[in-house]
Amino acid sequence: MIQNFHSGTSNLVLPVPNKTFFPEAFRDRTRLSYYASLFNSVEINASFYKMPGAKTVLKWSGEVPDDFVFSFKLNKTITHTLQGAFDLAPVPAFMGAIGATTKRGCLLIQLPPKFRPDLFQLTALLTVLKPYGWRIAVEFRQPDWYTDDVFELLSSFDAAVVLHDMRRSATPQVLTASHIYIRFHGPEDGYRGSYAADHLAEYANYIQGWLGKGKSVYAYFNNTLGAAVQNLQSLNHLVSVNY
C-alpha cells in the first residue's frame, strides 16, 4: 500500500460470506487476520456503542501486520449522553483501553445531529483528548458547525474535519489538519448502495494530490449494507494507478 494512505471499512467487512471461502492459509485464523491481509486499516465503530477492553485491543494488534492501523470512534457516553455538552469523565478509561495498541490511526469524534455549535464545549473536549497523542478527526452531523471559527479551532489542535457525504450534513472540502479523514456513508440512505466509478475516480485524484503534498489520508467506507468492500478495492486501485 501507498505510504501515508490508510483505508478500510467501518467495522470488519469481508469480500466473502464465511470462513469456508477464506484462502487456505487463513481458515484457521481470525476474520481480522484475513481482513488485514487485504486492507491496511479498519474503523472501529463498535467502540462507539460499547467501551472497548484493553486486552481485546491488544489481542487485535497481534493479529495484524506492522503497517496496519486502527481508527476508533469515541464512545457515545462521552459525546451523546448530555444534551448540548460532553461528559468528560469516561475519557481516561476509553483512551486507556485504546491506548493498548501502538498501531494507531485516528480517533473519530462524531457529534449528534442536535448538538448545536459550541466552541467552548468543543475546545474542552479537544483539550482533554490532545495529550493522548492520537490524530483526531471530528464529524459534524449539524451543518451549522461549518464556520470559519470552528475550522480555525480545529486547525489549532491539528484536528481534521471529517469529509463525509451524509445527506443534510455533508462536509465542504475544508482541510484543517496534517491528516485527512474521509467517510463514505453510501450514495443511498441507510448506508446502502455502490458508488459510481467516476465518483471514486474523483476522490482518488484528490487523495493522490493530498498525498503529494505530504498529508496522511484515512478513508473508510461505511456503506456496509451496500458495496463497501468493492468500493474500497476500487478506490485503492485507482489511488495506486500512476502514483
- Render pLDDT for 115-161 as a digit per residue (tens, 0 to 9): 999 999 999 999 999 999 999 999 999 999 999 999 999 999 999 99
CA 209 to chain centre: 20
Confidence of residue 1 (pLDDT cuts 50, 70, 90): low
**pLDDT value of position 99:** 97
Average pLDDT over residues 196-201: 97
pLDDT at 208 over 90: yes
Per-domain residue ranges for the chain?
A: 5-242
CB contact at 8 A, 5 and 36: no
Would you give the DSSP letter of residue 47?
A: H
Mean per-residue pLDDT over the chain, rounded: 96
Which is nearest to 125 in space by CA: 98, 159, 88?
88
pLDDT at 46 over 90: yes
Superfamily, domain 5-242: Protein of unknown function UPF0759 (3.20.20.410)
Distance CA 231, CA 127 (A): 36
pTM: 0.96
Rama region for 128: left / alpha / beta (φ>0; ψ in -120 to 50; rest): alpha
pLDDT at 4 over 70: yes
**pLDDT value of position 68:** 98
Average pLDDT over residues 8-17: 95
**pLDDT value of position 242:** 72
Rg over alpha carbons for the chain, rounded to the nearest Å, is 17
pLDDT at 243 over 90: no
Average pLDDT over residues 193-220: 97
